[in-house]
């Protein structure tokens, strides 16, 4: 049974940060063929009914936020473009704050379009191209040794290295798939000795981006997700309510043996159970 104190806190939450893959939907390893997971529609419906703000934050960078919203709407989930966030959304916040003007991108339009819309020039991974930063995201089919070499020498020349995610895997209908941004960052770190800064989950920068989008403080939020290494640690780091579901990377035993300080406040089977808890508070 859910902890009564956690249920009481759930009643005070003013906004929700929802993971996508493994929490609300499941697709294939190429981020295609999305289908809603159990309870996804019910959860979004009750949030709309309550007038509670929410955003979807996915670590995927294949699609732009607009494309993500279009896909979710196409399978019946009411998500607007202003409610979809990716590591590129946070990269915009971080890069603008740090004054970066030119970024080498190992990734596609899911990264380049948001950066360019914010006035940041993006350049492909070609050796000798000057840049302020290197950003690695989803780069599966396009990744070449020459691209890796360009990133390495850009970092040697003083560019800062950023990664969409350091997750080993992400959830798909075909099972776990390897995250490309971690693999790219591992090569750069091994050769240059310089760590990549993660701008996606579980970074506090990602939570702050979501909080700004909702006009709330991080501590007023609940973060909902399936990955023990992403949403729950991010929620704890920002003082938010941590809600775990078992429909993706995580399962019923994934969170049970964690120390109290990193355990989810609510450990639920799926998004539908969360919807039922919220409906019971109306």
- Is the per-residue pLDDT at 168 higher than 90? no
Do residues 203 and 17 touch, judged by C-beta distance below 8 A? no
Residue 139, helix vs strand vs coil: coil
Place of tokens 């035993």: 253
Residue 63, helix vs strand vs coil: coil
- Binned at pLDDT 50, 70 and 90, residue 262 comes out as confident
- Is the per-residue pLDDT at 97 higher than 80? yes
Q: Do domains 4-86+201-279 and 88-198 have the same CATH topology?
A: yes
Return the ∠ at Cα 245 (arms to 58 and 93), rounded to 5°. 25
pLDDT for res 178: 77
Place of tokens 């920068």: 205
Q: Give the model confidence (pLDDT) of 60-81 as tens digits.
A: 999 999 999 999 999 999 999 9
End-to-end CA distance of the chain: 20
Q: CATH assignment of 4-86+201-279, given 3.10.580.10, 1.20.81.30, 3.40.50.300, 3.40.50.1000?
A: 3.40.50.1000
Structure tokens at 206: 């990602």
Strands (E) across the chain are located at 15-18, 25-26, 35-36, 53-57, 84-85, 102-106, 121-123, 133-136, 160-163, 169-172, 175-178, 197-198, 221-225, 241-245, 266-268
Residue 84, helix vs strand vs coil: strand
- Alpha-carbon distance of 56 to 91, in angstroms, equals 16
How much is the mean pLDDT over the chain?
93
Task: Please state the rounded mean pLDDT for residues 163-170.
Answer: 84
Instruction: Name the nearest CA neighbour of 155 among 120, 122, 187.
Output: 187
Q: Give the model confidence (pLDDT) of 110-157 as tens digits.
A: 999 999 999 999 999 999 999 999 999 999 889 999 999 999 999 999
- Alpha-carbon distance of 89 to 78, in angstroms, equals 20
Instruction: Name the nearest CA neighbour of 196 among 180, 207, 211.
Output: 180
Residue ranges of alpha helices (H) inside 21-142 are: 40-50, 65-74, 87-98, 109-117
pLDDT for res 3: 86
Q: Give the model confidence (pLDDT) of 197-251 as tens digits.
A: 999 999 999 999 999 999 999 999 999 999 988 999 999 999 999 999 999 887 7
Q: Give the model confidence (pLDDT) of 23-43 as tens digits.
A: 999 987 666 778 999 999 999
Return the ∠ at Cα 19 (arms to 198 and 176), rounded to 5°. 75
pLDDT for res 31: 66
- Binned at pLDDT 50, 70 and 90, residue 59 comes out as very high
Do residues 106 and 143 touch, judged by C-beta distance below 8 A? yes
Q: Give the model confidence (pLDDT) of 186-207 as tens digits.
A: 999 999 999 999 999 999 999 9
DSSP classification of residue 218 = G
Q: Under CATH, which number does the domain 88-198 receive? A: 3.40.50.1000
Phi, psi dihedral angles at 198 (to 5 degrees): -85, 130
What residue ranges do the domains of the chain occupy? 4-86+201-279, 88-198
- Is the per-residue pLDDT at 171 higher than 70? no
DSSP 152-202: HHHHHTTPEEEES---SEEEETTEEEE-HHHHHHHHHHHHH--PPEE-STT
- Alpha-carbon distance of 151 to 104, in angstroms, equals 8
pTM of the model: 0.93
Percent of the chain with pLDDT over 70: 96
């Amino acid at each position: 049974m859910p902890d009564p104190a956690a249920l009481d806190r759930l009643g005070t939450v003013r906004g929700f940060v929802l993971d996508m893959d493994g929490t609300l939907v499941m697709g294939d390893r190429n981020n295609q063929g999305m289908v809603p997971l159990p309870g996804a529609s019910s959860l979004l419906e009750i949030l709309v009914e309550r007038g509670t703000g929410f955003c979807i934050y996915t670590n995927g960078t294949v699609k732009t936020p607009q494309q993500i919203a279009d896909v979710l709407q196409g399978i019946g989930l009411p998500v607007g473009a202003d409610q979809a966030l990716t590591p590129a959304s946070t990269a915009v916040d971080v890069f603008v704050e740090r004054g970066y003007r030119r970024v080498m991108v190992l990734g596609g339009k899911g990264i380049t379009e948001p950066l360019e819309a914010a006035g940041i020039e993006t350049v492909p991974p070609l050796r000798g191209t000057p840049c302020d930063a290197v950003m690695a995201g989803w780069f599966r089919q396009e990744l070449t040794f020459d691209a890796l070499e360009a990133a390495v020498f850009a970092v040697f020349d003083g560019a800062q290295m950023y990664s969409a995610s350091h997750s080993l895997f992400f959830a798909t209908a075909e099972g776990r798939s390897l995250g490309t941004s971690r693999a790219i960052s591992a090569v750069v770190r091994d050769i240059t000795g310089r760590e990549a800064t993660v701008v996606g989950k579980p970074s506090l920068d990602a939570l702050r981006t979501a909080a700004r989008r909702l006009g709330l403080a991080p501590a007023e939020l609940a973060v909902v997700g399936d990955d023990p290494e992403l949403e729950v640690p991010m929620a704890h780091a920002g003082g938010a309510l941590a809600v775990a579901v078992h429909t993706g990377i995580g399962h019923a035993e994934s969170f049970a043996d964690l120390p109290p300080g990193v355990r989810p406040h609510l450990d639920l089977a799926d998004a539908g159970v969360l919807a039922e808890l919220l409906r019971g508070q109306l």
